[in-house]
Amino acid sequence: MADLLPRGITTLVEGFLGTAPVVVLEGPRASGKTALGRILHASGLIASVVDLADPTVLAAAQASPSGLIEQITTPALIDEAQLVPDLLLPIKRRVDRNTAPGSFLLTGSSRLGRTQLGGSDPLAGRSVRARLWPMTQGELGGHPVDLVSRLITGDLPSGSFEAPSRDDLLGRISRGGLPTLAGLVAPVSDELRPALMAEYIEGVLAHEVGRRHDRAELVRLLRYLAASTARLLNVSTVSSELGAARDTVSARLATLEAGFLVHSLPAHRPGEHRTLTAHPKIHAGDTAIAAWATRLSLDPAAALYGALVETFVVNELAAQASWTPGRSLRHWRHTARKVEVDAVVVDQAGDVVPVEVKASRDVRPDDLAGLRQFLADVPSCERAVIFYTGELVLPVAERMWAVPMSALWSDTGSVPG
């Protein structure tokens, strides 16, 4: 079944269930959290399932959160746990009495627990969190590819890769990684997808936001941000252009990030350096959201195409990075020298790999300016990568490699980096 395709994060979640009393699996609505829970249930790691999307179960949970938690058999999956935040304190009390690992797996399409008890987290010290991103291209094809680990270790891929055409990349960008909208559950025509995306966004906002914000203004901000994907985020500029107060924009932005509709890459600052930007870089949570926001055509302008391809690669890398604890993505920009790096993969051991994205089959010396400056500023960095739409993995300068974009979803072997 399409919703039971293997996910790259499964091993991580299984490991968490063996070490922590509560595992929180967060991610966008309809990204496959329930399907992953079904896989774990079928494997025997989960004994019982509480589906809060079921109106009867939801009503029981709302009527007596403590009663529900006390009677269920653990290890238990509580699906859509964000619908009943009052469950968190009974879960805390139960795991305080019995700290057996893997007692509860909570899934939610908004961040759980961080706004309870006056802003503290009831599950702090008792839980670990994992983020499920929209499906990567490898996962959509039934074979998760962890290229991020190979970039970190230097085990770079080798051989010849199929060079994706412009139309192929635009198709992948338009489909995104949400299983339903990507056409895994049922075929989705290009003409229908924008309407389905608008319905999806309205569903997320209605489901997760309720009456806390003006939904029309949230949609307006989302369209603005998603259409500006892969750009630096300056909240003051956004508030000025949208005619809204800065604090209001900040609150709405936090809501969109909590619902995984957008995400931001913090600035990477390896040391005290006044000429490095501190602004984060904003990206659509899924490329299909960016396609909807920009009303993507078959022949977008070069700047828009480049931004969409950058978000496509960044989201692939972010998803793969989430499969290993302690990995994250940042971006880097040297304002004085006017150079930047699209993404920096950061490992918990301190290893970093700067990444540039080029939506072209050719890599020219000027394309390496940001990577070259990063390597000069961070001499301990062992390698830098520029993704392009060519076919071969090629050394393009000292410590710099050009890697085909299709290596993100195709695995053809490796050689030492």
In CATH, what number does 2-131 get? Answer: 3.40.50.300
Give the pLDDT score at 269.
Answer: 83
19, 164, 404 from 410: Cα distances, Å: 32, 12, 10
The DSSP code sequence of 107-154 is: EESS--STTSGGG--TTTTTEEEEE-PSPPHHHHTT----HHHHHHHT
Rounded distance between C-alpha atoms, residue 123 and residue 111, angstroms = 12
Run of H or E residues at 51: strand 48-51
Give the pLDDT score at 50.
Answer: 95
User: 3-class SS at 198?
Assistant: helix
Other CB atoms within 10 Å distance of the CB of residue 358:
22
Query: Which regions of 269-397 does DSSP assign to beta strands (E)?
Result: 281-284, 328-334, 339-346, 352-357, 384-388, 394-397
Other CB atoms within 10 Å distance of the CB of residue 409:
20
User: 3-class SS at 344?
Assistant: strand
**Could you tell me the strand order of the sheet in which 231-232 lies?**
231-232, 281-284, 262-265
Give the pLDDT score at 209.
Answer: 62
Give the pLDDT score at 273.
Answer: 61
Judging by beta carbons within 10 Å of its beta carbon (0-12, 13-18, 19+), is residue 242 exposed, middle or buried?
middle
Give the pLDDT score at 105.
Answer: 96
Other CB atoms within 10 Å distance of the CB of residue 295:
10
Give the pLDDT score at 123.
Answer: 85
Give the pLDDT score at 23.
Answer: 95
168, 179, 303, 321, 357 from 291: Cα distances, Å: 14, 16, 14, 24, 18
Q: Which amino acid is at 369?
A: A
pLDDT of the chain, 417 residues: tens digit per residue:
344 789 999 999 999 999 999 999 999 999 999 999 989 998 999 999 999 989 999 999 999 999 999 999 999 999 989 889 899 999 999 999 988 999 999 998 776 655 544 456 788 888 999 999 999 999 999 999 999 999 999 999 988 999 999 999 999 999 999 998 898 888 889 889 999 999 999 988 887 665 567 888 999 999 999 999 999 999 999 999 999 999 999 999 998 998 899 999 999 987 656 556 689 999 999 999 999 999 998 889 999 999 999 999 999 999 999 999 999 999 999 988 899 999 999 999 989 999 999 999 999 999 999 999 999 999 999 999 999 999 999 999 999 999 999 999 997 644 434
User: 3-class SS at 214?
Assistant: coil
Give the pLDDT score at 415.
Answer: 43
pTM score of the predicted model: 0.93
The DSSP code sequence of 155-177 is: --B-SB-PPPPHHHHHHHHHH-S
Classify residue 113 as left (phi > 0), alpha (psi -120 to 50) or beta: left
Strand-strand pairing, 262-265 and 394-397: unpaired
Give the pLDDT score at 270.
Answer: 76
Rounded distance between C-alpha atoms, residue 325 and residue 252, angstroms = 29
Contact between 14 and 39 under an 8 Å Cβ cutoff? The reply is no
Rounded distance between C-alpha atoms, residue 347 and residue 383, angstroms = 14
138, 276, 411, 414 from 153: Cα distances, Å: 20, 27, 16, 11
Domain with CATH 3.40.50.300 in the chain: 2-131
Q: Which residues contact 293 (CB under 8 A, 6 or more apart)?
A: 222, 223, 224, 225, 226, 227, 229, 284
Give the pLDDT score at 99.
Answer: 87
